[in-house]
Amino acid sequence: MPHSIPSEEALIQSQENMADTEENGNDFHISQEVEDTSAITQAAPELNDEDITMADAGVQGEAIPQLTAKSEVKLEDLFADSESDDEFSSTKAKVEKASNSPEGPASPVHIGPTSQASDPEVMRSFYQRLFPWRQLFQWLNHSPTPSTDFGHREFAFTLPNDAYLRYQAFPTSDLLRKDVLRLMPSRFEIGPVYSTNPRDRKTLRKSSAFRPIAKELCFDIDLTDYDEIRTCCDKANICNKCWQFITMAIKVVDVALRDDFGFKHIMWVYSGRRGAHAWVCDKKARQMDDQKRRAIAGYLELIRGGAQSAKKVNVKRPLHPHVLRSLDILKGHFQNDILHDQDPWEEDDKFERLLQLLPDRTLNESLRKKWSSSPGRSSTSKWADIDALAKTTKGLDPKSLLEAKQDIVLEYTYPRLDIEVSKHLNHLLKSPFVVHPGTGRVCVPIDTRRVGDFDPLAAPTVTELLGEIDQWNPPEDGEMQGKSIQDWEKTSLKPFVDYFRSFVAALIKDENEVKVKRERERDTDAMAF
């Protein structure tokens, strides 16, 4: 029988034995046989930012059952400061009881100069003391009461020995946390909500009854896709100059999703190294099928072709309002971040690429002659030379030149999206607030109201955060006397968790309002009948 969602109290004991039964399936995608995940102690290898795409599930099956909440929780109580995110994060003195729990002791870990994110005890302390489990649950559950929105959601773990554990599901955040502390994954991904509990998929008579039914619409932007046009860094390396490509992409995609599609609840998250992920959380986005997801992804995609493609932008004229708006957003970035900071055509072998994108041969010859006689001429000057020499070029079509220059601006500034992440309902994506194993940086949300201020190189690292807890001293003014302070509130993680909390609160508030409105409409219809 498929799992239902019982009360949290009834689940604690059953979860203790869950791992023993689940390992009988083919859920491990590993390079070696794994018999007992609780014994995994190898250090986590460095992973890249690539997300794992799961195989397509069936497309037929019965709808997910609806749960009835036993008690109603007020929204204003949802984020009460007096409630603890977990049992390890309060400054109040506690008496620790002996326990055989696999999550280990809650004692602080000493952070020294040699401490790294790959150290198991460092990660254990992070998951125990800093990870916002409660907010993550509320975000994915869309309600304070456990439901199938969370209980039928797939989680996938990358384990320390490079094993990849799929189709994990948890009725509550506490059970998810306990399993993370038991298995100590280097990171975990979030997948879709399924028509039944993912752990029960092999008990179904028809495999087609197990199908994905809901997931946030996601977007992935990675700086490696900009390697052919960024001059400051390449591969996994980044700096504040090339991070501006991500800033441009967030601005363009975010406004398009809000203004053109009416989405409201969009959260951008730093990937921990060289990119950003968008989670569109509106209910209408979560319920879209693959066809609609592909349509939106195609709407936003302009850059096409590989590194050897002569021209990557071919847009129809007159320009679509979305493209015109994007050009307006990007023109300032083109002058400052591309021409000045990246200086992509300074070298002689590089300006030939620019000439390939211009439409007039006579103009191109004049520009080639001028630039060849002035080695090292800046890209800003070369861009200005185009208009200056165009004025004296006979037979030149001004309209064609303008369109070519617009296409060049788009090629060097427009978002380069990993479209496959957006097209499929069943794609998994790295969870917010996990730690990137290569950099040690936490995958924190990016406040789009101040997107230009976000510095990826200043994003908190797990060792810095744990050190900040050790160095924290309570305020001397006495205002915090008697108040329980969570460990994340003592660190530079606080503004990011606060932002996440406010985002989740707004999402749940809107969903509750829609639910109440529909109930009133049903009551009105019933009375009219």
Q: Which residues are catalytic?
A: 154, 220, 222
**DSSP letter assigned to residue 269:** E
State the alpha helices, DSSP H only, in 446-493: 462-471
Indicate the helix (H) or strand (E) that contains 141: helix 133-141
CB 63 within 8 Å of CB 154: no
* Unique residue bearing structure tokens 């530079």: 492
Calculate the CA 404 to chain-centre distance. 34
Residue closest to 168 by CA, chosen among 149, 181, 151: 151
**DSSP letter assigned to residue 272:** S
How far apart CA 139 and CA 133 sit, in angstroms, is 10
Instruction: Return the bridge partners of 445, or none.
Output: 269
State the alpha helices, DSSP H only, in 442-493: 462-471
Q: Residue 230 class from Cβ within 10 Å (0-12 exposed, 13-18 middle, 19+ buried)?
A: buried
* Unique residue bearing structure tokens 């850059």: 303
How far apart CA 15 and CA 132 sit, in angstroms, is 21
Q: Reply yes or no: is the peptide bond before residue 318 cis, omega within 30 of 0.
A: yes
What are the structure tokens assigned to 328, written together?
């307006």
What are the structure tokens assigned to 335, written together?
């002058």
How far apart CA 125 and CA 131 sit, in angstroms, is 9
* Unique residue bearing structure tokens 């590989």: 306
At position 451, the amino acid (one-letter code) is V
**DSSP letter assigned to residue 422:** H
How far apart CA 111 and CA 301 sit, in angstroms, is 45
How far apart CA 48 and CA 459 sit, in angstroms, is 18
**DSSP letter assigned to residue 278:** E
* Unique residue bearing structure tokens 């609609």: 292
Q: What is the dihedral of CA 511, 516, 521, 525, to 10 degrees?
A: 130
Q: Residue 303 class from Cβ within 10 Å (0-12 exposed, 13-18 middle, 19+ buried)?
A: middle
- Phi (first) and psi of residue 241, to 5 degrees: -65, -50
How far apart CA 472 and CA 190 sit, in angstroms, is 33
